[in-house]
């Protein structure tokens, strides 16, 4: 049985940290088994890296992506192991969309772990280090950000665009380094409260990722995709899809298209969702979701205590 008013959401890059999920690993056999399965798929001890590695190593895109996918799937399996019921709908932020599709039964876990490692490699290699940048813009209207980025491009500074619509008043821009710098200056002048460079070395979700998309298309063509058992709202168009070929196409388009997170959350609310469980390390999405719709109740699963609280919270008035 699905909980009709509950959504599960899965975080993307930025939620990783050395030492995460330690208590969950001790508490749940499902978490231990999931990390063992990922380690076997990739040929290295992922749990040792997560607990004892350097943060810089964990932050490498080709490492971060399989680690976060594994963490999210591990917590989903722990949720089910502890008697938690399935949600009515799922969504994931960027990489998290792959986690959602695994948990919805559309992607095989081992296939997905290998696929997102490749995705990370493709994304990192699409633009030489130093030539691309991203920045978070706080406190300015979405349309104004889009318009100013277009003006910077028209002025010949290079490519820059709004790429993550994370919540009203919080948008990430990305593109060529010089163009991002020019846009940051213009956005501050236009009244942005903050414009902060992000510690990433590639302009994710821009047209500069088209080469990565072409490579990913080849990799995605080689894996099986099934119709998801739970609707998954996609970043590209804020709708769910049942056709595996449509899902395959959206996973490729997503790599060079903006992440419409605000729209994804609004689409879930329109389906009657009032409780959202963040299935992965950290609480980044919970913070965004509250800014998108203050009526949403948010829960997280990273710690055993929070998993129990989430199970009790979503069961209340279900």
Q: Is 205 a catalytic residue?
A: yes
Residue bearing tokens 């938690």: 84
* Spatial CB neighbours of 120, under 8 Å, sequence gap ≥ 6: 60, 61, 62, 63, 64, 65, 66
From the list 258, 220, 217, the residue with the least C-alpha distance to 238 is 258
Active site annotation includes 94: yes
Tokens of 291: 């800014």
Beta carbons within 8 Å of 124's beta carbon, 6+ residues apart: 60, 61, 62, 201, 202
CA distances from 14 to 11, 111, 314 (A): 8, 23, 26
Hey, CA dihedral for 95, 98, 102, 107, is it positive or negative? Answer: negative
* Active-site position among 25, 205, 240, 306: 205
CA distance linking residue 250 with residue 228, whole number of Å: 14
Q: Which residues contact 304 (CB under 8 A, 6 or more apart)?
A: 23, 24, 27, 28
Strands 170-176 and 132-138 turn out to be: antiparallel
- Do residues 30 and 112 touch, judged by C-beta distance below 8 A? no
Residue of 15, 71, 72, 94 marked catalytic: 94
How buried is residue 317: exposed, middle or buried, by Cβ count under 10 Å (0-12/13-18/19+)?
exposed
Catalytic residues: 94, 205
């Amino acid at each position: 049985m699905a909980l009709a008013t509950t959504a599960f959401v899965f975080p993307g890059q930025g939620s990783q940290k050395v030492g995460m999920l330690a208590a969950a690993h001790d508490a749940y056999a499902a978490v231990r088994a999931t990390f063992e399965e990922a380690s076997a798929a990739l040929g290295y001890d992922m749990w040792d890296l997560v607990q004892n590695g350097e943060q810089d190593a964990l932050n490498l895109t080709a490492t971060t992506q399989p680690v976060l996918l594994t963490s999210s799937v591990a917590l989903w399996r722990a949720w089910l192991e502890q008697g938690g019921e399935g949600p009515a709908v799922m969504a994931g932020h960027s990489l998290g969309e792959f986690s959602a599709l695994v948990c919805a039964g559309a992607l095989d876990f081992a296939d997905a772990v290998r696929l997102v490692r490749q995705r990370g490699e493709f994304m990192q290699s699409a633009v030489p280090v130093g030539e691309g940048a991203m920045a978070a813009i706080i406190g300015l209207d979405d349309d104004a950000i889009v318009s100013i980025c277009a003006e910077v491009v028209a002025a010949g500074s290079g490519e820059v665009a709004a790429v993550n619509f994370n919540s009203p008043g919080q948008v990430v821009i990305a593109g060529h380094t010089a163009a991002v710098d020019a846009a940051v200056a213009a956005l501050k002048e236009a009244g942005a409260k903050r414009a902060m460079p992000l510690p990433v070395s590639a302009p994710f979700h821009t047209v500069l990722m088209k080469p990565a998309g072409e490579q990913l298309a080849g990799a995605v063509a080689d894996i099986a995709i099934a119709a998801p058992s739970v609707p998954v709202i996609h970043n590209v168009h804020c709708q769910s899809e049942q056709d595996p070929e449509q899902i395959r196409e959206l996973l490729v388009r997503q790599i060079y298209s903006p992440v419409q997170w605000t729209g994804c959350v609004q689409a879930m609310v329109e389906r009657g969702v009032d409780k959202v469980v963040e299935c992965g390390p950290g609480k980044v999405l919970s913070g965004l979701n509250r800014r998108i719709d203050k009526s949403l109740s948010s829960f997280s699963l990273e710690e055993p205590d929070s998993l129990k609280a989430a199970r009790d919270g979503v069961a209340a008035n279900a």
